[in-house]
Chain A
């Protein structure tokens, strides 16, 4: 009995030693269990507190029932359905999120995740989960945060400041077109916003998977909210994990609002900016004619 027991335990430890270097960079179930008990596995949305654990019991019911099939047991985006989905489900262990109010390279706020769950992500398989109660969503945010080591050591970034929206004027729409051409949004989004810019066909996300630029002319909803302020936030924070960079270092608040108004003229919806553009007879500028 003894002699039989010893070799098998030895074998197990050898296997464990052999496997350990391979799993170093990966998040393990054991680590996540530790993080579940950490203060980071909570969320604060207004005066609402979300918890990943209540009275010692994990609050995993909603996640297991609705999220796990795509996002996976470990939150690594490798759920059962993941192989058939494009874009791929978010890998929560990386804690890299598109929709943030915080600067590029920082963690989103709890509110950002809370809003994303309810909003869903257009042109992906993530539907709007607005059927959850606010408490359920807050608990889900806490649950999502226990998957990544980043919440153990990092704080969310400071949300960018969005000044009040100014009045749309012909000057602003015109100035917005100049900003569009100066920072060269058309490189990917195309001069008419049809996602057919010269670099559009080669775009890849951070994991090397092909990704599309947003097509303004098609009129789909933005992934991170549909209001003017959402649009402002999208290009100032960038969509982390994708080729869309942050323009915060290169746009003053006024220029950013001008750009918002011009981008609205590229969409098929009626808007004051679009009316103005029509009156002005604003035409897309051929970038190679204006280029130096």
Chain B
């Protein structure tokens, strides 16, 4: 009697496990095939603020590197038709567990180039590895300043000419201000988000790829103008649209 039960139980359990594994694999495939995207543009209405020119005379190397192109602050970069550059777009609500915790394998980099951060705004996922590199023949120090209690811990490392890249990651979502104490004009951002994200290009266009079907809140972050949100519903394999407009102060 008992042995019969055991056999039945064992058969049932293994059948269930097979189904579970199958469902898991199938589920993955379905998600991969059905992923949609969110696309749109970010604009600035009103007169764009004046971006001050940068005086690099404290470091002759920096002056020399930028001799042919005057350098300006990069807090607000607007194209001729009002497209806003360097806006980070991410899904602040609606992401399911698996999609939220998946960490992209690609490794973005921020370079110190001609005494500026390129890009000015780096967007990364929580725990996503990224690199800080230098192509300058002058010493920089990279000094991220996360807010206390944010879950991220700041550090301060030097990169002399020819220094190897710093490879690191952040633990918690936060817009982290990054500076170089040696070149006080150098200021950039590491924007850490959870889940799929995009950053607007020079025309203000963006596409958040690999978004599973569902309803989301999309948040647009800009360093001067703060955040804006929009509700978006993504259908399987489709591109949903969400345009944002920030108002110049």
Q: Can you give 26 contacting A-B residue pairs, CB < 8 Å?
A: A25-B148, A93-B148, A104-B155, A183-B158, A183-B160, A184-B160, A187-B59, A188-B181, A188-B182, A202-B58, A202-B184, A206-B154, A238-B155, A242-B156, A243-B141, A243-B143, A243-B181, A245-B143, A245-B158, A247-B158, A249-B158, A249-B159, A250-B160, A291-B138, A292-B61, A292-B161
> Across the interface, do A183 and B184 meet the contact criterion of CB distance under 8 Å?
no
CA of A243 to CA of B154, assembled, Å? 12
> Across the interface, do A246 and B59 meet the contact criterion of CB distance under 8 Å?
no
Shortest beta-carbon distance, A64 to chain B, in Å? 24
Q: A26-B149, A245-B141 are in contact. List 13 more A-B contacts (CB 8 A).
A: A27-B149, A105-B153, A150-B153, A184-B139, A184-B160, A184-B182, A202-B58, A238-B155, A243-B143, A243-B181, A243-B182, A245-B181, A250-B164
Which residue of the partner chain, among B60, B161, B164, contacts A249 with CB atoms under 8 Å? B164
| Contact digits for B157-171, partner A, Cβ 8 Å, 1 yes 0 no | 111110110100000
Q: Interface size class for chain A?
A: 35 or more
Q: Which residues of A contact B147 (CB under 8 A)?
A: 25
Which of B138, B145, B157 gathers most chain A CB within 10 Å? B157
A interface, by DSSP: helix, strand, loop or mixed?
loop
Known contacts A202-B184, A245-B143, A249-B166; is A292 also within 8 Å of B137 by CB? yes
Q: Which residues of A contact B131 (CB under 8 A)?
A: none
Which of B138, B154, B157, B158 gathers most chain A CB within 10 Å? B158
Q: Which residues of A contact B163 (CB under 8 A)?
A: 249-250
Q: Which residues of A contact B113 (CB under 8 A)?
A: none
B129 at the interface (CB under 8 A from A): no
Known contacts A199-B182, A199-B183; is A246 also within 8 Å of B158 by CB? yes
Residue positions of B touching A, CB distance < 8 A: 58-61, 137-139, 141-143, 145, 147-149, 153-161, 163-164, 166, 181-184
Q: Which residues of A contact B155 (CB under 8 A)?
A: 103-105, 238, 240, 246
Q: Which residues of A contact B145 (CB under 8 A)?
A: 206
Known contacts A149-B149, A183-B139, A187-B139; is A198 also within 8 Å of B58 by CB? yes
Closest to B138 in A: A184
Which residue of the partner chain, among A26, A96, A199, contacts B181 with CB atoms under 8 Å? A199
Closest to A202 in B: B184
Q: Which residues of A contact B181 (CB under 8 A)?
A: 188, 199, 203-204, 243, 245
Q: Which residues of A contact B160 (CB under 8 A)?
A: 182-184, 250
A288 at the interface (CB under 8 A from B): yes
A118 at the interface (CB under 8 A from B): no
> Across the interface, do B182 and A104 meet the contact criterion of CB distance under 8 Å?
no
Shortest beta-carbon distance, B47 to chain A, in Å? 29
Closest to A150 in B: B153
B interface, by DSSP: helix, strand, loop or mixed?
loop
Shortest beta-carbon distance, A123 to chain B, in Å? 19
CA of A150 to CA of B157, assembled, Å? 21
> Across the interface, do B148 and A94 meet the contact criterion of CB distance under 8 Å?
yes
Shortest beta-carbon distance, A77 to chain B, in Å? 12
Residue positions of A touching B, CB distance < 8 A: 24-27, 93-94, 96, 103-106, 149-150, 154, 182-184, 187-188, 198-199, 202-204, 206, 238, 240, 242-250, 288, 291-292
Shortest beta-carbon distance, B248 to chain A, in Å? 26
> Across the interface, do B58 and A96 meet the contact criterion of CB distance under 8 Å?
no
Q: Which residues of B contact A183 (CB under 8 A)?
A: 139, 158, 160
Q: Which residues of B contact A27 (CB under 8 A)?
A: 149
Which residue of the partner chain, among A25, A184, A187, contacts B149 with CB atoms under 8 Å? A25
Which of A187, A188, A202, A245 gathers most chain B CB within 10 Å? A245
> Across the interface, do A244 and B156 meet the contact criterion of CB distance under 8 Å?
yes
Q: Which residues of A contact B149 (CB under 8 A)?
A: 24-27, 149
> Across the interface, do A105 and B154 meet the contact criterion of CB distance under 8 Å?
yes
CA of A192 to CA of B134, assembled, Å? 27
CA of A198 to CA of B185, assembled, Å? 13
Which of A188, A199, A203, A288 gathers most chain B CB within 10 Å? A199
Q: Which residues of B contact A96 (CB under 8 A)?
A: 154
